[in-house]
């Protein structure tokens, strides 16, 4: 089969063109001609367009070093780590919250997500043309593409606020499409677009149980409902959080918390949506995800970045089993028998990024569990509590605590339960790329960062900078976030 060349001219290519006039120009080798359509007019060909979207999440620029910097090192859960003199290009300024509009991690994350969105638009453009493919399959694949597009726009709106909405494959030379690609929409407009995509996905996607064993990494109806609940939570649409959480069925929290982060825990009963990493070549894993976070120094196996902070260590209650499943301590013995020598440079490392089978490989077999049923329960608990239904929220909170080896909460008031749920989210989901955004959405950021010795500037640090290169090329059609 002829290789598929996925066009990459949506926003991401914009950074590599000399001026705005050639922004939409695309090399013919990057596009699929009309004559090539028949090559993909079969089930395997149709699926390949959507598989290319999933594969984007395995890329270094999408899920690895830059994203770790933005979503984790910036938070109070983590420090830069590594050697004192190794900045990781920009991980020192991310850790200190002193980054500017030229920050490489903010730029690479922005570009990578738009590259992924372009793959979604490419699939959505091609699928209706594949008339020899079963209509039901085409509909499901379109649902997957819309789920993944919504997922990426959710990342973008959390990171940058309002961003351009590219809702179709742009036509090279089209002025209106050029303006579409360069003009920021409001956060409210982006959230509305995400909701529309997720509702379309819900209508098209099957339940998790309908997929065969070799398709378990694909998006399901439950994943779309869970993501819609999370999107609603960020907008404080509390009743919608509850309604959508109630529709996430067929899942259950696992008994052993630590099992979820081992290779044997892939796609367990708690997993709703995770990025599937199979390991090194000839399979495919997330590029550099484990390696960049592995223990550094004599006897180590990685670069040593994104190390658990003392603030996170202090957040665990005595007896909480999640602490040992989240943090690698220098001098400890890991689940596979590996001894972490006292000669490694940092006192602590991220256990959830640890690979036993592919310790020294660039591509890891570690999955990233982006949506888990435990979070659905916590989202529902938070929403119930915010609506004054605290009595109904407490059992959900206790369910998560009990799995962690902790007793039921002793709190009962709405305010105390709110704080208890927020604390539970922190220790339950540490190093799962949520903490920074949780602090911002709940208004805890300034105080939390102060405890961790960092200065969070309100009115600025809630958002990352739109890449300066994009703002320059937009030439007035988009403006920078405040403070940058």
**pLDDT value of residue 35:** 57
Cα–Cα nearest to 172, from 50, 28, 3: 28
Q: Identify whether the C-beta of residue 462 lies closer than 8 Å to the C-beta of residue 445.
A: yes
Place of tokens 């699929």: 32
Q: What angle do CA 199, 381, 314 make, to 5 degrees?
A: 120
14 falls within a domain: yes
Cα–Cα nearest to 340, from 298, 303, 368, 306: 298
- Give the domain CATH number at 460: 1.25.40.390
Query: Considering its fold, how many domains does the chain have in total?
Result: 2
Which is it for the CA torsion 35, 39, 45, 48, positive or negative? negative
The helix/strand/coil state of 308 is strand
- CA-to-CA distance for 457 and 449, rounded, in angstroms? 10
Q: Which helix (H) or strand (E) is 135 found in, with range?
A: helix 135-160
CA–chain centroid gap for 47, Å, is 23
Mean pLDDT by 10 residues, the chain (484 residues): 32 35 31 70 95 97 98 98 97 98 98 98 96 97 98 98 97 95 98 98 97 95 99 98 98 98 97 95 93 98 98 98 98 98 98 95 96 98 98 98 98 98 98 98 97 93 98 97 98
Cα–Cα nearest to 293, from 344, 256, 259: 344
- 346-381 burial: b if 16+ Cβ within 10 Å, else e: bbbbbbbbbbeebbebbbbbbbbbbbbbbbbbbbbb
**pLDDT value of residue 32:** 55
Output phi, psi for 265, to 5 deg: -95, 5
- CA-to-CA distance for 159 and 434, rounded, in angstroms? 11
240 falls within a domain: no
Reported pTM: 0.94
- 442-469 burial: b if 16+ Cβ within 10 Å, else e: eebbeebbeebebebeeeebbbbbbbbb
How many alpha carbons lie under 13 Å from residue 101 in its C-beta half-sphere? 13
Cα–Cα nearest to 348, from 79, 168, 121: 79
The helix/strand/coil state of 302 is coil
Q: DSSP letters along 342-392, please?
A: TTBSSSEEEGGG--STTTT-SEE---EEEEEHHHHHHHHHHHHHHTT-HHH
Q: The domain containing residue 305 runs over which residues?
A: 286-314+322-366
Which is it for the CA torsion 113, 115, 116, 117, positive or negative? positive
- CA-to-CA distance for 388 and 9, rounded, in angstroms? 48
**pLDDT value of residue 43:** 95
Pairing of strands 348-350, 327-329: antiparallel
**The domain boundary residue, chosen from 366, 400, 432:** 366
Q: What is the per-residue pLDDT across 107-155, written as a single tens digit (0 to 9) for each?
A: 999 999 999 999 999 999 999 999 999 999 999 999 999 999 999 999 9
405 falls within a domain: no
Q: Which helix (H) or strand (E) is 271 found in, with range?
A: strand 271-275
298 falls within a domain: yes
83 falls within a domain: yes
Same domain, residue pair 171 and 37: yes
The greatest distance separating any two alpha carbons of the chain, rounded to the nearest whole angstrom, comes to 67
Same domain, residue pair 158 and 302: no
**pLDDT value of residue 34:** 52
Cα–Cα nearest to 394, from 371, 435, 424: 424
**pLDDT value of residue 281:** 81
**The domain boundary residue, chosen from 299, 334, 366:** 366
- 313-345 burial: b if 16+ Cβ within 10 Å, else e: eebbeeebebbebbbbbbeeeeeeebebeeebb
**pLDDT value of residue 10:** 33
DSSP 408: P
Cα–Cα nearest to 197, from 152, 257, 135: 152
Alpha helices (H) along 171-316: 175-182, 187-204, 221-234, 238-246, 310-315
Which is it for the CA torsion 138, 139, 144, 145, positive or negative? positive
């Amino acid at each position: 089969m002829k290789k598929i060349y996925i066009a990459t001219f949506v926003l991401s290519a914009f950074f590599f063109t000399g001026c705005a006039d050639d922004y939409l120009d695309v090399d013919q080798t990057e596009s699929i001609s009309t004559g090539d359509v028949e090559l993909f007019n079969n089930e395997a060909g149709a699926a390949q367009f959507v598989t290319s979207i999933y594969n984007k999440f395995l890329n270094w620029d999408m899920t690895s070093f830059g994203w770790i910097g933005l979503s984790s090192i910036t938070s109070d859960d983590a420090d830069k780590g590594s050697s004192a003199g190794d900045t990781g290009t920009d991980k020192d300024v991310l850790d200190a919250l002193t980054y500017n509009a030229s920050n490489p991690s903010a730029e690479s994350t922005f570009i990578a997500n738009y590259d992924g969105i372009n793959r979604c638009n490419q699939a959505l453009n091609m699928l209706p043309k594949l008339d020899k493919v079963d209509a039901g399959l085409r509909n499901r694949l379109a649902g997957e593409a819309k789920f993944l597009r919504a997922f990426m726009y959710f990342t973008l709106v959390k990171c940058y606020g309002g961003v351009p909405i590219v809702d179709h494959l742009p036509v090279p030379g089209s002025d209106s499409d050029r303006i579409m690609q360069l003009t920021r929409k409001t956060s409210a407009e982006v959230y509305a677009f995400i909701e529309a995509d997720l509702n379309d996905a819900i209508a098209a996607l099957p339940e998790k149980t309908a997929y065969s064993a070799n398709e378990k990494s694909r998006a399901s109806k439950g994943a779309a409902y869970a993501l819609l609940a999370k999107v609603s939570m960020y907008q404080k649409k509390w009743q919608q959080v509850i309604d959508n959480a109630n529709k996430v069925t067929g899942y259950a929290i696992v008994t052993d918390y630590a099992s979820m982060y081992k290779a044997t825990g892939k796609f367990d009963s708690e997993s709703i949506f995770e990025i599937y990493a199979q390991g090194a070549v000839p399979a495919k894993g997330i590029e550099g995800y484990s390696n960049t976070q592995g223990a550094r120094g004599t006897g180590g196996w990685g670069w040593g970045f994104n190390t658990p902070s003392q603030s996170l260590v202090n957040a665990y209650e005595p007896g909480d089993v999640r602490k040992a499943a989240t943090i690698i301590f220098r001098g400890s013995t890991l689940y596979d028998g590996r001894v972490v020598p006292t000669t490694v440079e940092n006192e602590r490392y991220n256990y959830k990024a640890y690979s036993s089978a592919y310790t020294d490989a660039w591509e890891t077999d570690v999955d990233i569990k982006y949506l888990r049923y435990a979070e659905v329960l916590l989202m529902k608990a938070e929403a119930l509590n915010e609506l004054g239904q605290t009595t109904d929220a407490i059992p959900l909170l206790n369910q998560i605590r009990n799995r962690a080896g902790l007793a039921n909460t002793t709190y009962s008031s709405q305010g105390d339960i709110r704080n208890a749920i927020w604390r539970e989210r922190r220790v339950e989901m540490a190093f799962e790329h949520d903490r920074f955004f949780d602090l911002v959405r709940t208004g805890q950021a300034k105080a939390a960062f102060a405890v961790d010795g960092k200065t969070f500037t309100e009115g600025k640090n809630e958002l990352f900078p739109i890449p300066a290169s994009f703002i320059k090329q937009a030439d007035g059609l988009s403006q920078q976030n405040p403070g940058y």
